[in-house]
Each structure stands twice: as C-alpha cells, then as structure tokens.
A = this chain, B = another copy of it.
C-alpha cells in the first residue's frame, strides 16, 4: 500500500453523503442548494460542510449556496465517479453476493463485471446478473479485461494469496473486506473495510445517550 497519508480522509468519507443529498434535491426547483440545508439534512455543522466541499475545488456563493449541477460535477470529478470504473469481485460467499447486488454502486460509477470463486457449484452461474468465473482463470481474465479495481470478500485464510494474484495481474486498487492486513506493492491502493468501526461509534453514542438520560431524565 502506498504510504501516503490522506489527511482529508474524514472529509472524503463524507463526500458520498453530500452527493446523495444534492442529487435528491436535483429534481426540486432552484438552481442552488445551501450548505446550511445540506448540513441540516446530515446533522453536521455548516462550517464543516463548507470545509469538506472545498476540497473538491468548489466554493459557494454568499446567500445562494452552491449551483447544484456544478456541485455534483465537482464531487463526482474529485472522486473519479464521473466515469464508470469496472471492478471484479473475489469470493462469492454471503458478503460477496450481497455486494454484487448492492444497488448503490451503480450510482458511484462502479460496475462489477465478473466475480471469481473456486467452488465448482458456483463457477458458471450468474449472481445478480454477474458471471461467476473460475478463480484459476483470474489472472488471465484481469489482464485481458484491463480492470483495475478488485473487491476482496474471500475467507481470511485465502486473502493474501488472492491479493498476490490480483496485483500480479495489474490491479491498482483493492477494496479489502477481509480482516487481513494485506502486503501489496507500493503502487497498489488498499482500502480496508472494518465493520467494527461503525459498531464502536454506535456503542459510544448509546452510552452518551444513557448518560444524558440519567442526568436530565
């Protein structure tokens, strides 16, 4: 993984939710959307919203806000979501199957064109319209298609081996849903998805609510 610190990571994490809100307001009247409105819908501070959006290069107009279409274009452009990007998925278990059917990916320019598995009962089938291919052919298929993104949903024990095959075949970005810290060449980006993070926040929020309840209830 490239040893780059993305200091704007929390801001980048929020960009998809801004995009979602602006798209929802696209159909409604008016050319502009205010940062305050976006902030209210997402329960954030307006100053935070303006700072986050600034990293995409856009600035709002006083008293008017952001031109909706320009804002959508700025976020999509910054994230690279304006051009569709193909991806493969490795490991067609429950999580893999769920991700293959995840509707939201379509709005983010992410198109899963093939999945790989080693189970003969799965190979040759389609899941949510996506073909499941033999993992032994993965290297060849990735080289031929030129796909650059892989979603990794194999069991932990197979994660590093799969990552090795993927990077050797030319994959530039791995979205890692396993709990393995992958060793990959510097030029390959890895985003590790850790569901525990969200659960940590939930528990702390619940504890905070309980304390407030005890104090004021």
Contacts and interface: CB of A to CB of B under 8 A. Distances in A.
Number of this chain's copies in the assembly equals: 2
A208 B4 contact: yes
A197 B4 contact: no
B94 A172 contact: no
A160 to B, nearest CB: 16
Interface string A5-44: 1100110111111001000000000000000000001010
Interface stretch (A101-109, A113-121, A138-146): A101-109
Interface residues on A, range: 35 or more
Interface centre among A85, A179, A201 (most CB of B within 10 A): A201
B15 A206 contact: no
A108 B198 CA distance: 12
Main secondary structure of the interface of A (DSSP, over half): helix
Contact of A179 (B5, B14, B104): B104
A124 interface: no
B194 A17 contact: yes
A207 interface: yes
A123 interface: no
B2 A212 contact: yes
Contact of A2 (B6, B104, B110, B208): B208
A14 to B, nearest CB: 8
Contact of A98 (B6, B98, B194, B203): B98
A193 B206 CA distance: 16
Given A79-B200, A191-B201, A207-B80, A43 B3 contact: yes
Given A172-B206, A173-B206, A204-B12, A191 B187 contact: no
